[in-house]
A and B are shown apart, each in its own frame.
Chain A
Amino acid sequence: MNRSPARLLALILGVALLSPAAPAFADHLVLEADTPTPAESGDAVEIEVVLRHVETQQRIPGGTVVVSREATIVGVTGEVELASATTNEDGIATLRWRQGAETDHIVLIAYATSGDIELESTPISVLVVGPKDQVFRSTSGIRIPGFGAWVLIGLIISVWGIIQFALVGPVLVASRFDDSEEDHGRARAFDK
């Protein structure tokens, strides 16, 4: 199941067709985004998007811009939103998300033309040069004050202590009563 050639082809096509910039046209607005520099797997990807009026070239503040990618999970294909942002007074929105481990990604930059539902979008290529490390690495677990290896060690010592106590107690007490020859003799006599 080697899918590398297909991925490579998609990457090349994506980069060739869509670089360096991919304006998204709608009736009155255009979305301009630069192709981001190649990122390493697990790194944050950041894209600045400018939302501009097509005719007046005026930048539009307060527009919602969304970046998403197509994905298939358990056989179902759909859009997965990676990040969203609102354009500032200069009409610029900064989209930031953490890139997965795949080596090629075609993401869609879109803005809501009216309300939040209808989206105008344009594809853009995000090049990920390869997995640097695992995508997410936690620190050494959740630190609960006072809870650590010493608690475990203490617990084990306690349990072993109780076991030894349970064993030694009866042995010491029983051993005090010497198993005299008289008793053996009595037992053997009984046996006969």
Chain B
Amino acid sequence: MALGPTGRRDEPVESVTDYRRRLEDITLEPVITTSRGYWFLIAGLLAIIAWGIYAWTIQLNDGLVVTGMRDRISWGLYISVFVFFIGISHAGTLISAILRVTNAGWRAPITRIAEFITVVALICGASMIVVDMGRPDRLLNVLVHGRWQSPILWDVIAISTYLTASLVYLYLPMVPDLALFRDRLTGRVGGWRTRLYEILAIGWRDLPEQRRPLLRAIGILMILIIPIAVSVHTVVSWIFGMTLRVGWNSTIFGLLFVAGAIFSGIATLVIIMAVLRKVYHLEEYLTEKHFVNLGYLLAAFTLIMMYINASEYLTKGFKLEEGEEFLFQQLFLGQFAGLYWFYFIGGLLIPGMLILIKRTRTIAGVVTAAVLVDLAMFSERYFIVISGMRVPLMPYEPFDYTPTLVEWSIFAAGVAFFVLLIALFVKVFPIMAVWEVVEERERTGDIVDDLVAGATPGAAFDRGDDRYRSREPPDRGPS
């Protein structure tokens, strides 16, 4: 059924050109105008990052002794954040690829944001490893003296492969939109950006000869990137699973990590979508349907996570080796009980219920669930890392780890860096895949060919149709 621009059936059907034009304007808006709120945001983020860099210099000068880590618990907050960031990197490319493969049409407005989250999260996650190193100047030793038998090297290879593939997968579908920016922003933005769009658009003119190889390449990548993404978090889990540590010595850790990654990834995507929707007035494109559909995925993953957790703890608890008993004590009743039960109740049960109960299955409900999921998944990453490290391997008293101010400062800087990169991306690149959204709307019949709509290109604008005027809000807020 063809619907009008606002979704009402009594409205005149919109033409492809008018719809595209309006969508382009919405997409260009954040690049053209910059509010004061945006600069405040950037300034705040830079201040947090500067503080984090200062904390890091203290760590570099005095060594890792300024952290809460010692020989008995040598992995702490940094590694937890690393695992969390790598997890949310699954928000994008994997989800986008799966939705593309399954030809889920509703994906079109969210893929670009999702793919960019992947790239940013991978960069932030990898940075945490550098921070965790006592001697970051030896970073390249991983490659120079790396051993093929080492899961650490596998991890470096897997993450760098995923990052490269994600960058390509982000870039290729963006080429037509970059060409749009090149064509419509020349003279309206700074010279360096004009030049950037010219280079990145690689002479795109939307010719059939250009489209064919592009679509073929996207097709290849969307298939390839799924196993790469799955392998990345499996390999991350092997850093833990390849050891004999209690709590980590598990054969289903790969599955747990991958499921948890997709889970937290979807949650992050929902949160960022909600923010961008609000700030850039994308209500028409990021509709309740998108949030609810992602909410269903979240709900499914709450059940998957519960099942994997039950499988993990039941098989261990059934045998209850000596160390496992210690682990269970601290996890369920002791030091980590607060985090664990928050994870289980606040991160699995409540989000699942929020989405499954019809009354709360709204944008606000899904976003609330997503926030809870992200907090819970961060808690999970934390107690997996620390509780495993805390189980004594030799007859010594368990060591208690508490992150120091230096660690919290660097953690805050990492989160700020994540937000900063997204804010900068929105300022430079198209946040929605215009051509994909238009194609999808055409496919579903929501918009029709110009001749069918009885409109010449841009006719609605030329007519000065009030509907379109009203869609340009006087104040778009921070952009």
Chain A residues close to B by CB (< 8 Å): 1-3, 73-74, 141, 149, 152-153, 156, 159-160, 162-163, 165-167, 169-171, 173-179, 183-184, 187-188, 190-191
A-B contact pairs, 5 of them (CB 8 A): A1-B397, A141-B149, A160-B164, A162-B220, A190-B458
In the assembled complex, B320 has its CB within 8 A of some CB on chain A: yes
Q: Is the CB of B175 within 8 A of A177?
A: no
> Which of A162, A177, A188, A190 is the one whose CB lies under 8 Å from B210?
A177
> Which of A2, A166, A178, A188 is the one whose CB lies under 8 Å from B221?
A166
For residue B168, which residue of chain A has the nearest CB? A167
A175 with B202, Cβ < 8 A, contacts A159-B161, A170-B214, A184-B183 known: yes
Q: Is the CB of B186 within 8 A of A184?
A: yes
Residue-by-residue, is B148-165 near A (CB-CB < 8 Å gives 1, otherwise 0)?
110000100100010011
> Which of B175, B186, B325 is the one whose CB lies under 8 Å from A174?
B175
Q: Is the CB of B184 within 8 A of A191?
A: yes
A156 to B172, CA, bound (A): 22
Give 5 closest A-B pairs by Cβ, nearest first: A187-B183, A149-B148, A179-B203, A166-B217, A170-B214
Q: Find chain A residues with CB under 8 A from B164 CB.
A: 160, 163
Q: Is the CB of B395 within 8 A of A162?
A: no
Residue-by-residue, is B203-223 near A (CB-CB < 8 Å gives 1, otherwise 0)?
111010110111011101100
Q: Is the CB of A167 within 8 A of B203?
A: no
Q: Is the CB of B168 within 8 A of A163?
A: yes
Q: Is the CB of B224 within 8 A of A171?
A: no
A166 with B220, Cβ < 8 A, contacts A160-B164, A177-B203, A179-B201 known: yes
Q: Find chain B residues with CB under 8 A from A184 CB.
A: 183, 186
Q: Find chain A residues with CB under 8 A from B207 CB.
A: 177
Q: Is the CB of B221 within 8 A of A174?
A: no
Best-surrounded residue of A74, A152, A159 (most CB of chain B within 10 A): A159
A175 to B214, CA, bound (A): 12
Q: Is the CB of A170 within 8 A of B228?
A: no
For residue A191, which residue of chain B has the nearest CB? B184
Interface residue total, chain B, C-beta cutoff 8 A: 43
In the assembled complex, B71 has its CB within 8 A of some CB on chain A: no
A179 with B224, Cβ < 8 A, contacts A174-B210, A191-B183 known: no
Q: Find chain A residues with CB under 8 A from B458 CB.
A: 190
For residue A186, which residue of chain B has the nearest CB? B183
Interface of B is mostly: helix
Q: Find chain A residues with CB under 8 A from B228 CB.
A: 159
A177 with B161, Cβ < 8 A, contacts A74-B320, A166-B168, A167-B168 known: no
Other A-B pairs beyond A1-B395, A174-B202, 14, CB < 8 Å: A74-B321, A156-B157, A160-B164, A163-B161, A167-B168, A169-B216, A173-B212, A173-B214, A174-B213, A174-B214, A179-B198, A184-B183, A184-B186, A191-B184
A159 to B164, CA, bound (A): 11
In the assembled complex, B10 has its CB within 8 A of some CB on chain A: no
Q: Find chain A residues with CB under 8 A from B218 CB.
A: 166
Q: Is the CB of A188 within 8 A of B205?
A: no
Q: Is the CB of A188 within 8 A of B186?
A: yes
Q: Find chain A residues with CB under 8 A from B475 CB.
A: none
Q: Is the CB of B217 within 8 A of A169?
A: yes
Q: Is the CB of B175 within 8 A of A170?
A: yes
A3 to B394, CA, bound (A): 12
Q: Find chain B residues with CB under 8 A from A190 CB.
A: 458
For residue B221, which residue of chain A has the nearest CB? A166
> Which of A1, A152, A183 is the one whose CB lies under 8 Å from B148?
A152
In the assembled complex, B322 has its CB within 8 A of some CB on chain A: yes
A159 with B203, Cβ < 8 A, contacts A170-B213, A188-B183 known: no
A187 with B214, Cβ < 8 A, contacts A166-B168, A170-B172 known: no
A187 to B186, CA, bound (A): 10
Nearest chain B CB to A158's CB is how many angstroms away? Answer: 10
Nearest chain A CB to B393's CB is how many angstroms away? Answer: 13
A170 to B221, CA, bound (A): 12
Q: Find chain A residues with CB under 8 A from B221 CB.
A: 163, 166
Nearest chain B CB to A175's CB is how many angstroms away? Answer: 5
Q: Is the CB of A175 within 8 A of B203?
A: yes
Q: Find chain A residues with CB under 8 A from B165 CB.
A: 159, 163
A179 to B224, CA, bound (A): 31
Q: Find chain B residues with CB under 8 A from A141 CB.
A: 149
A177 with B209, Cβ < 8 A, contacts A74-B325, A163-B165, A163-B224 known: yes
Q: Find chain A residues with CB under 8 A from B325 CB.
A: 74
Q: Find chain A residues with CB under 8 A from B171 CB.
A: 167
A190 to B183, CA, bound (A): 10
Q: Find chain B residues with CB under 8 A from A167 CB.
A: 168, 171-172, 217
For residue B158, which residue of chain A has the nearest CB? A156
A167 to B167, CA, bound (A): 10
Q: Find chain A residues with CB under 8 A from B183 CB.
A: 183-184, 187-188, 191
Q: Is the CB of A178 within 8 A of B203?
A: yes
Q: Find chain A residues with CB under 8 A from B210 CB.
A: 170, 173-174, 177
Q: Is the CB of B205 within 8 A of A179?
A: yes
A159 with B213, Cβ < 8 A, contacts A3-B395, A174-B175 known: no
